[in-house]
């Protein structure tokens, strides 16, 4: 037994090391809602050998209302400060589709860059609009889990962005924790029913907490058109901002098809 700290210092061996160099990996920072059960798990299926994911959570209301979504802005900067301090990140993402739409893209970027100046920022609202443009999709159908008070400004925002929303459907769920409980079969049935008699360029499945990633390929084959989800589009957009060429297969044409790159 070593009896003193000084004796322990003499006993302990010290080693030097050369600082490691950049390994060329793309590092994505993800700021997601405390009640999101889906986004991070879906993204884990998309990561490649060169893409790393670092995530943290931000407080949120348990109810998906316009007021609650706008209130997310109050905690974004502080929450982002907890995201791997000292680790350089290539891009930062905020994981809430309706929240980013209601708060505003520029405000989201401003609040996050207060904690991480100079890092490119994405959010699902910006990402989906960029994805739809990349796919050349003007006439779209939209399926969300939201209540009407969230859906109406969502519809307005898409129309103002230059898209013609020809069909809009919803599961009208208020509690965020209930959204991941919507079964895949129900999403598929609703998506197909929404498109009956409609001519659209793409279907948009909104909400980061809606489990859709593994449905995208099959839905595209059945419907004969691109299907874009919030989580898929956000990952795609993050790669674009980071300058990373990585095309996961089996999760929809947006990620797999280089023609969508913008």
CA distance 250 to 259: 16
Sequence spans of domains, the chain: 26-123+233-247, 127-229
Segments of the chain with pLDDT less than 70: 258-262
Sort 129 into a burial class: Cβ within 10 Å, 0-12 / 13-18 / 19+: buried
Q: Residue 17 has which token pair?
A: 């090391």
CA distance 173 to 207: 11
C-alpha pair distances (Å), 178 with each of 57, 104, 171? 18, 25, 11
What pLDDT, on a 0 to 100 scale, did the predictor assign at position 2? 92
- Which residues are paired to 101 by β-bridges? none
CA distance 213 to 228: 9
What pLDDT, on a 0 to 100 scale, did the predictor assign at position 262? 47
* Strands annotated E in 50-133: 51-58, 91-95, 121-122
C-alpha pair distances (Å), 56 with each of 81, 84, 256? 10, 8, 27
The reply to whether domains 26-123+233-247 and 127-229 share a CATH topology is yes
Closest CA relative to residue 251, chosen from 28, 95, 44, 25:
44
What pLDDT, on a 0 to 100 scale, did the predictor assign at position 260? 52
What pLDDT, on a 0 to 100 scale, did the predictor assign at position 119? 97
**CATH number of 26-123+233-247, picked from 3.30.70.1150, 3.30.2350.10, 1.10.3720.10, 3.40.50.12500:** 3.40.50.12500
- Using alpha carbons only, what angle is made at residue 144 by residues 168 and 166, rounded to the nearest 5 degrees? 15
**CATH number of 127-229, picked from 3.40.50.1860, 2.60.40.1260, 3.90.1150.10, 3.30.750.210:** 3.40.50.1860
């Amino acid at each position: 037994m070593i009896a003193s700290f000084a004796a322990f210092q003499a006993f302990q061996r010290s080693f030097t090391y050369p600082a490691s160099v950049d390994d060329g990996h793309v590092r994505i920072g993800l700021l997601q809602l405390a009640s999101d059960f889906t986004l991070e798990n879906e993204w884990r299926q998309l990561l490649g050998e060169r893409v790393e994911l670092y995530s943290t959570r931000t407080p949120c209301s348990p109810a998906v209302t316009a007021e609650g979504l706008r209130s997310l802005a109050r905690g974004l900067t502080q929450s982002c400060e907890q995201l791997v301090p000292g680790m350089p990140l290539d891009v930062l993402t905020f994981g809430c589709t309706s929240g980013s739409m209601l708060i505003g893209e520029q405000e989201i970027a401003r609040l996050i860059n207060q904690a991480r100046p100079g890092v490119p920022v994405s959010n699902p609202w910006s990402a989906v609009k960029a994805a739809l443009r990349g796919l050349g999709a003007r006439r779209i159908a939209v399926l969300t889990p939201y209540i009407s008070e969230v859906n109406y400004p969502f519809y307005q925002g898409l129309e103002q962005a230059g898209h013609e929303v020809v069909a809009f459907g919803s599961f009208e769920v208020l509690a965020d924790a209930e959204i991941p409980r919507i079964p895949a079969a129900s999403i598929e049935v609703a998506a197909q029913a929404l498109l009956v008699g409609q001519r659209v360029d793409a279907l948009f499945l909104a909400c980061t907490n809606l489990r859709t990633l593994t449905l995208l390929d099959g839905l595209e084959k059945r419907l004969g058109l691109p299907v874009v989800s919030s989580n898929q589009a956000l990952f795609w957009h993050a790669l674009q901002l980071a300058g990373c060429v990585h095309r996961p297969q089996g999760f929809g044409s947006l990620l797999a098809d280089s023609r969508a790159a913008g």
